[in-house]
Amino acid sequence: MRELRKAPRRSGQRESGSQRELKLLRQVFRTFPVPVVVLDASGVVRRISAETSRMLGSPAGYLIGRSFPLFVDVSRRAAFRSHLTAVQQGGQTATFQTRLAHQGRAHTVQLAVTRLTMPGEPQEMVAVMILPLEAQVAGPPHGPADRSDATLVMAAARRQELLARMTRLLLDEESLRQPVTITRAARLLASESADWVIADVIRDGVPARACVLGPSDKPVTQLVRLAEQMNPLTAPAIAHVLTGGSGVVHEMLEDEGLLGTVPGGPPLLRVMGAASVLIVPIGGEDDVLGSLTLVRLRDREPFSLADLGVMEEIGVHLGLAVRARRSFQTRSRAADALRTSVVPRSLPDIPGFEAAAIYNAGSSPVGAEFYDVFPTHDGWGFALGGAAGKGEEAASVSAMVRNGLRVLSVWESDPGEVMRKLNQALTAQHNGMFVMAVTGFIRARKIRLASAGHHPAALLQPDGGVRFTAGGGVPLGIAAEAEMFTEELTLSSGQTLVFYSDGLVASQNELGESYGETRLADVLARCVTRSPAEIVKTVEEDRHAFSGGRVWDEIVILALRVV
């Protein structure tokens, strides 16, 4: 060691014998049979012998430049720093026992620490001689001891596979429909890439903890509960990522306070037994929606810059998925609001009648078919119909017609006049939309019907006979002076009127055959003694069996039975 203090060769001078000897001594240092490490004043590894590399299970290129205290077991790290400071200040050699832990290996060692002046170094260095006393291996080494081309390729392949699996998970329809996007992503990361996963999200501008997942093979339930209750902003590293929008990786943990402290206790990372931490934002730099924190324990390979790159990409994908889900929810709520505006949640009781209806949205996320039962100025009214087309515009037109029927029925006693005024209002808008509809006003047992291009209703007799009303007329919105077809029925006890949308009779089987009104009449003939609720259910079940469960257009069935 004393020879290492010799001065280096000056530029332009020939190499002297002492300099050649220095080269030889450096070579001897690298092949020294006892593990030896040279540290700078801050404790960072500057030189390392081949035996040290073998003992720790990592190549010299991986170990040089890292803080040596991080290789010391957490429980003895403070004592090591104290000995190191004493050697640097006092100049005396210190000998003491401690434990080194790295890549799943734990070594009980005797350390000899001495101050050293290195050639070409402006500051004094520290030499650490390591005498192994006992070694324990927690399992097959996961560390980068062998970073051959094949190993690197396999590691890259695993990262790409994780990214692909995450993408498939985030594109799953359930992730859009249910609030499980972040939790499902965290579970995948916990099973594939980390021992602990903490997900935080920003809700209404405030960071909140979304989920905490710990090692499944260890009793950490209580610690999980404590971590769930912690404020993300009390973790300096998480707060930095949330505000800065860029990820960080601590390959070898030096600051145990990065994730804050357990309430009234030690740092969270110490309790976890953490050795490496990686934190990435959810979303991009300009729109951070939260953060993902991954923690690995001491028996696993630490996170690397390559891991950081993949996790940052996952964070971006997760941010896109979260935004897509929020957009989906917004559109879904809008669709629900539109659907509520055309389909009532329940039907009111009509004196002297029983009523029931069934609605099947089909493949359309926003319905354009409507039905309704409502009071008029001197009785009750009902309506059924739908705008031609699909989507929000058709649904809004249907909602307008449905609400217009309700409003006009307060003043008008004739459903035909109501339909004519609605037609004039619709054609005046020049939106190119037209609506097929039927409405009826009930007074005692008399029903006056007005049809605007709608299918005729089926009238089920107590003896099982079925006949159809006239129906017909011109759809609303085509021409301002179009005539509505009107008809008046007087019903007796036990008779049932069944109204239906085009989606019912136009349903097709695998041969391309339509359900049709003939099959509808046959089904209704078998429902003589059944209630309206049973009738609409029976018809829909028969249509479902006929079409093999396939539904393209919305289906509405409304039944009114005289008590």
pLDDT digits (tens, 9 = 90+) for 128-153: 999 988 766 544 444 444 445 565 66
Interatomic CA distance for residues 4 and 121, integer angstroms: 11
Interatomic CA distance for residues 245 and 231, integer angstroms: 18
Interatomic CA distance for residues 74 and 58, integer angstroms: 19
- 435-443 and 446-452: which strand pairing? antiparallel
- 105-116 and 94-102: which strand pairing? antiparallel
What Å distances lie between residue 394 and 120, 184, 329, 350, 428, CA to CA?
82, 36, 20, 29, 16
Report which of 372, 528, 518, 543 is spatially closest to residue 464, judged by C-alpha positions.
Answer: 528
What is the pLDDT, as a whole number, of residue 6?
41
Euclidean distance between the first and final Cα of the chain, in Å?
109
The domain covering 343-562 belongs, at the CATH homologous superfamily level, to PPM-type phosphatase domain (3.60.40.10)
Residues 439/469, Cβ–Cβ less than 8 Å: no
Report which of 441, 427, 143, 137 is spatially closest to residue 276, judged by C-alpha positions.
Answer: 143
Residues 497/552, Cβ–Cβ less than 8 Å: no
What Å distances lie between residue 541 and 360, 457, 467, 545, 557, CA to CA?
12, 19, 21, 6, 12
471: which 2 tokens? 């129906």
Domain boundaries, the chain: 28-131, 157-330, 343-562
13, amino acid identity = Q
- What angle, rounded to 10 degrees, do the helices at 149-171 and 305-342 form? 10
User: pTM of the full predicted structure?
Assistant: 0.47
Report which of 488, 500, 498 is spatially closest to residue 466, judged by C-alpha positions.
Answer: 498
The CATH architecture that domain 157-330 belongs to is 2-Layer Sandwich (3.30)
Parts of the chain with a pLDDT under 70: 1-30, 103-104, 118-121, 135-155, 171-179, 284-286, 325-343, 363-367, 391
Domains 157-330 and 343-562 share a fold: no
Report which of 206, 512, 150, 535 is spatially closest to residue 354, judged by C-alpha positions.
Answer: 535
Interatomic CA distance for residues 501 and 503, integer angstroms: 5
Residues 554/364, Cβ–Cβ less than 8 Å: yes
Phi/psi-derived region of residue 296, left when phi > 0, alpha when psi is between -120 and 50, beta in every other case: beta
Structure confidence by residue, pLDDT tens digits, 63-85: 787 788 888 887 788 889 889 99
What is the pLDDT, as a whole number, of residue 139?
46
400, amino acid identity = M
- What angle, rounded to 10 degrees, do the helices at 305-342 and 181-192 form? 150
127: which 2 tokens? 């030499």
Cα angle, residue 494 at apex, residues 490 and 497 outer, rounded to 5°: 60
Interatomic CA distance for residues 239 and 226, integer angstroms: 18
Cα torsion at 316, 317, 322, 327 (round to 10°)? 110
28-131 topology per CATH: Beta-Lactamase (3.30.450)
